[in-house]
Structure 1
Amino acid sequence: MRIFVALPVQGEAAEELTSWAKEHRTKLSFRKWTHPRDYHITLQFLGEWPEARLEELHAALRSIRFNPIKLALNGGGAFGPAQAPRVLWAALAGEVEALKELHREVVQATKTLGFVPEERRYAAHITLARSFTGNNGGALSEIMATMPVEAAWEADRFVLMRTHMNASPMYEVIGEYGLGQND
């Protein structure tokens, strides 16, 4: 199984991202747009994992104690060159330091199972689209200026997701872990 740990994007924030993407997808030529049910913030990509060892991973993730995190949309950006970006993403505001701490907790909990943390700095974001195919990259900055801001939600759980390549939606929740368990 190809798996990762994530925070689902919920409520008004998910609705605003869906509406924005629907309005702008014809103006921006990306090969793949994220299905609205797949909106999430990756906490740690884990990669391939045997189903026979899934309970070990569930136990490690259940050990994490954390309080709910208040987050909000805060515009967006793109990874890659301006004329041909690889990824279009939504940015976050709110309790971003608490989100980074949760990321560190997930990395620490999974390290004992042999998962290796990424070397690059953690950059929390919500992927909206991938693989720019058009020649209208110059319009990207204008369109990104219209990305949703302030739509908020409270992340009260994180999830373990399984990837189903070439499916839409692409991700399946195979574990859910409540935040605020340390109350």
Structure 2
Amino acid sequence: MRLFFALDIPGPLALDIATWREQQLPLLGRPVPAANFHITLAFLGEIPDSRLDALCQDVDAAAEKLAPAAFELQLDQVGYWPRPGIYWLGPASWPDSLEHLARKLGGIGAIHGHEKRREHFQAHVTLFRGCEAAPPAPALAPDFRLSCSEFLLMESRQGKRGVSYHPVAGWELGTGFNPA
């Protein structure tokens, strides 16, 4: 299974972001479908199905210690990473506890077979992939509020219509495990 931990973007907010993107930005590359909007906390990559229960048990055991209380993110800035060609939307700031959560989840993932860790955490929603040049600034700055009350373990599946993401398990922030 190709897995990652994420903060989900609820449907109505995802549609608002997609509408803003369509109105404010030219077609810059491959637009990410609104249904795939999320904020990655830790990418795990390929984890054998046989490790899923142990992975979830480890997160469950650590969830009360590592999960911050619910919080809000103000998605109010855009950015561009030229090497992967990604144009993104994200918050100018986030709680330190979110970065701590992302590092801890990456560490738990490493125990279960994934060794790569991200050096720098940037909370973001990918808007476009495959951008060849830095995009112009939008005429209307983004201003979206994301209420975060849980984090999810998501599976990335490749299908005939592209990639889709599916929740595998979820944890309420500051509490514990909830099967998805």
TM class, shorter-chain normalised? 0.7 to 0.9
Secondary structure at the residue paired with 1:16? Answer: helix
Q: Rate the CA distance shift 1:131–1:45 in 2: closer, same or farther, 3 A.
A: same
What stretches of structure 1 move > 6 A for 4+ residues in a row?
A: none
Alignment counterpart, residue 54 of structure 1, candidates 52, 55, 59:
52
Name the structure 2 match of 1:175. Answer: 169
> What letter corresponds to residue 22 of structure 1 in structure 2?
E
Q: Tell me how far apart the structure 2 counterparts of residues 90 and 96 of structure 1 sit (CA, whole Å).
A: 17
Alignment counterpart, residue 164 of structure 1, candidates 157, 165, 168:
157
Q: What stretches of structure 1 of length at least 5 have no aligned partner?
A: none
What is the aligned-residue RMSD (CA, Å)?
2.5
Name the structure 1 match of 2:37. Answer: 39
Matched, 1:142 2:137: yes
Shift of 1:45: 0.7
Count of aligned positions: 171
Shift of 1:62: 1.8
Q: Rate the CA distance shift 1:103–1:162 in 2: closer, same or farther, 3 A.
A: same
| 8 A contact 2:46–2:114 mirrored in 1 | no
> What letter corresponds to residue 92 of structure 1 in structure 2?
P
Shift of 1:124: 1.8
Q: Tell me how far apart the structure 2 counterparts of residues 164 and 71 of structure 1 sit (CA, whole Å).
A: 27
Q: What stretches of structure 2 of length at least 5 have no aligned partner?
A: none
Shift of 1:28: 2.3
| 8 A contact 2:86–2:130 mirrored in 1 | yes
TM-score (norm 2): 0.81
TM-score (norm 1): 0.80
The residue correspondences of 1:120-139 to structure 2 (distance < 5 A) are 120-132=119-131, 137=133
Q: Rate the CA distance shift 1:77–1:5 in 2: closer, same or farther, 3 A.
A: same
> What letter corresponds to residue 129 of structure 2 in structure 1?
R
Secondary structure at the residue paired with 1:53? Answer: helix
Name the structure 2 match of 1:69. Answer: 71
Deviations 1:16-64 (A, max 9, x none): 3121123246x2231x211112111111111111112211111122222
Shift of 1:110: 2.9
Secondary structure at the residue paired with 2:72? Answer: strand
Shift of 1:12: 6.1
The residue correspondences of 1:10-25 to structure 2 (distance < 5 A) are 10=10, 13-24=13-24
Q: Tell me how far apart the structure 1 counterparts of residues 116 and 123 of structure 2 sit (CA, whole Å).
A: 15
